Structure 1
Amino acid sequence: MPPARKRILVYRIGSLGDTIIALPAFNKVCEMFPDADITLLTNRPIVSKAAAVESVLGQGYFFHRVVNYPSGTRNPLVLLALWKELRALKIDIAINLATTRILKDLATTKRTVLRDKWFLWSTGIRQFLGFPAIRQDFELSIDPVTGQYEWEALRVMRRLESLGPADLTSDRYWDLHFSEEELGQAKQALQPLAPGQPIVAMCAGTKMQSKDWEEQNWLSFTSRLKTLLPGWQLVMVGAPDEAARADKCIETWGGGVNLCGKTSPRVSGAVLKQARVFVGHDSGPMHLAAATGTPVVAIYSARNLPRQWFPRGDGNRIIYHKTDCAGCVLEVCVAEKKKCILSVTVDEVIDAVMEVLLRREAGSQQ
């Protein structure tokens, strides 16, 4: 009789960018447990415009079913229903890919992790992988190799080192495994564009005020870039409530395709794969473009410390102005008037785009 199929629970919360950063871990789990029955345990996003994890990962490859729970719930009836659902699945292994953030203090954070592990243990799970164990798992630390803050993708994979190494520079670990249907939908979405002409993709929106480079900068940038890239075509991606700003960018460009709110995250990813360059805020679409191998020009605020949430790839240009208030993690910045991101000039972004394109052209000719 063949050995029983492993039943695995993968725990990951967050939205589009958080999910993309954890892609190497998801691919590593599938690589090491190719025949496993995988359940994804995730949250319902707090922010309504944030993409749910399952809409980013798609159906049929990374997991077989989803168990959702409301973010931050303490409702005993909801937790009891979740407990019963997990217990009925008879899970063998729980794999924690969740980002661990310091709460009130380190001790409180450790107790929260232990509480979550105990809850899963009480459902009958006896093997646990990826749960924070050492101090570096709980606190943002300096990567001894780079001397910079540890990259979140590396931080998650480090906790899974028992599964073996994963080369974070390899495309295989960033593969979203688009279906033929999704690739076909992306092709259809780009139908209005002239075939064979190069594409620049942009996302001018963001769900956080503190990350917004603001409309006047985007319109000035779009106007300037159009004159430098004659014959290029513009594609805008993003959430439905970003469509109005995207329309203004397209009008400034003189035409293009506005896909804000019209394509799923995965179809948007298949679209972004066709672009020569992506320009956007520190956002989910930025991470999505980078995962597909499209070089990005990313305009960052300093709400997070540098490198922690940078996108994958060596061909990117990250524009990050480190201010004295860097690492504030504010979603709304009033007192400092967003001095970090608003100190980024249109000239800087234009220069970054042209540098990325020249580097890419030089690489293709080698």
Structure 2
Amino acid sequence: MDAHRKRILIYRIGSLGDTIIALPVFNKVREVFPNADITLLTNRPIVSKAPALESVLGSHHYFDRVINYPSGTRSPQVLYAVWKEIRAQKIDIVINLATTRILKNLRSTKLAVLRDNLFFRSAGVSKLIGFPSLRIDYELTIDQETGDFEWEAKRLARRLETLGPIDLQNSFYWDMHFNDEEILSASQVLEKCLPGKPIIAASVGTKRQSNDWEQENWISFFKGLKLQYPDWQLVMVGSPEEADRSDKCIEAWGGTGINLCGKTLPRVSGTVLQKARIFIGHDSGPMHLAAAVGVPCVAIYSARNFPGQWYPRDNSNKIIYHKTDCAGCGLEVCIVQQKKCILSITVNEVLSAVAETLNNTEANYSY
């Protein structure tokens, strides 16, 4: 390896949606260090619905190798093996993109960050970028421009401002750098689509019970959508576990849609989504992927997170979010309140949001 070539380690955990939100800073790192040797330190997803971070980024642009570790591990043997591997790489810079969460209290959270800091320094790293230092790095804060809680993409960009400004409205920073093979694969899976007929893309899956709008609503929605757009084509994307539910939605649509759940890798799904006029789905990884590639989204949100924090890229999306008195609960499973936030969203409300979104973007398309 060239002695003058920077050796960088990027630390980021999460799956599809978490990776897409961090995409601008991944692109910024490569912009600032175009010739760097980059190691990606990330976790292996616990559930099969969650694709590995490296499968979202692809290996040709953002990193040269990956160090994986099991999610939430506390095994000294595993951590020591990771430490040895990092030390062997002789890393110059660690860039921390890990999402900082308040644990029991602010003190315990700062101690956890200090632990990570010492871990990397003991592995021989002299320069650390992106580690929380201010209170606003640890706690959710109100964005004065929007009045909502700070958008996660903006928070990450702020923490890495030492690398230079990141314009989150600039498509350059959301570019996924699809290769020719991925583009060809997308064309092949869409061969059954009729030329000239616009495509609606959708995903009805979610990792969390609390984010699920539920099957009955989706079935009613697709029946209504077909009446509004009878000549359009439907393409469903998602994980293998979501294939059966997607089949039922296609049946409600009229039986002529394409179900790609479990059949395409995340990056091929991204190139497929580029062909769509609109995307409809939960607060989910596929929704963030669609927004990243520039497709207007109608996104159905629960109130488990506060408004704004995990919204998708761009202002052309229609976010359907009902703020309830229990908003910000962070629940994976909602039993007591019976998901009153997301289940108060009606089928007609979503159908209206689709019509409004398509009307707003009509001028950008030609038939």
TM-score, with structure 1 as normaliser: 0.98
Report the CA distance between 1:47 and its aligned residue: 2.3
The secondary structure found in structure 2 opposite 1:46 is: coil
Between 1:67-76 and 1:325-334, the stretch displaced more is: 67-76
Instruction: Tell me by how many angstroms 1:357 deviates.
Output: 0.4
Decide which moves more: 64-73 or 288-297: 64-73
Per-residue displacement from partner, 1:288-310 (whole Å, max 9, x unpaired)? 00000000000000000000000
Q: For residue 226 of structure 2, give the secondary structure of its aligned residue in structure 1.
A: helix
2:98 corresponding residue in structure 1: 98
CA shift, 1:71, in A, is: 1.3
Percent sequence identity is 66
CA deviations 1:196-255 (Å, max 9, x no partner) are 210000001111110000001001000001111121000000111110110011111121
Report the counterpart of residue 350 of structure 1 in structure 2.
351
1:99-114 correspondence to structure 2 within 5 Å: 99-114=99-114
Deviation of 1:147 after TM superposition, in Å, equals: 2.1
Aligned residues: 364
Is structure 2 residue 159 aligned with structure 1 residue 159?
yes
Superposed, which structure 2 residues align to 1:263-278 within 5 Å?
263-278=264-279
Q: Deviations over 1:142-194 (max 9, x none)?
A: 11222221000000000010111111011110011001000010111111111
One-letter amino acid of the counterpart of residue 162, structure 2: S
2:341 equivalent in structure 1: 340
Q: 1:24 aligns to what?
A: 24
| One-letter code aligned to 1:195 | P
Distance in structure 2 (CA, Å) of the matches to 1:78 and 1:97: 21
Q: Which residue of 2 aligns with 1:118?
A: 118
Counterparts of 1:242 and 1:230 in 2: how far apart (Å)?
24
Say which is worse superposed, 136-145 or 18-27, in terms of deviation: 136-145
Whole-Å separation in 2 of the counterparts to 1:107 and 1:361? 51
Greater mean deviation of Cα atoms: 138-147 or 28-37:
138-147
- State the secondary structure of the residue aligned to 2:78: helix
Partner SS state of residue 342, structure 1: helix
Equivalent residues in 2 for 1:133-282 (5 A)?
133-254=133-254, 255-282=256-283
Q: Deviations over 1:272-326 (max 9, x none)?
A: 1110000000000000000000000000000000000000011100000000000
Q: What residue is the counterpart of 1:82 in the other structure?
A: 82
Q: C-alpha separation between the residues in 2 aligned to 1:3 and 1:125?
A: 16
Letter in structure 2 aligned against 1:198: P
Worse-superposed segment, 29-38 or 250-259: 250-259
SS at match of 1:297: strand
Q: TM-score, normalised by structure 2?
A: 0.98
- Aligned-pair distance for 1:46? 2.2
Secondary structure of the structure 1 residue equivalent to 2:10: strand
Note if 1:54 corresponds to 2:49.
no
Deviation for aligned residue 1:363? 4.4
Question: Which AA in structure 1 matches 2:302?
Answer: S
Cα distance in 2 between the residues matched to 1:288 and 1:206: 14
Task: Tell me how far apart the structure 1 counterparts of residues 354 and 212 of structure 2 sit (CA, whole Å).
Answer: 19
* Partners of 1:345 and 1:253 in 2: CA distance: 18
State how far apart, in whole Å, the 2-side matches of 1:177 and 1:206 are. Answer: 26
Unpaired segments ≥5 residues, structure 1: none
- CA–CA distance in structure 1, aligned partners of residues 11 and 80 of structure 2: 18
1:330 aligns with 2:331: yes
RMSD: 1.0
Does the residue aligned with 1:328 lie in a helix, a strand or coil?
Answer: coil
Structure 2 portions without partners, runs of 5+: none
Name the counterpart of 1:6.
6
* Counterpart position of 2:308: 307
**1: CA distance between counterparts of 2:248 and 2:79?**
46
* Structure 1: distance between partners of 2:328 and 2:322: 12
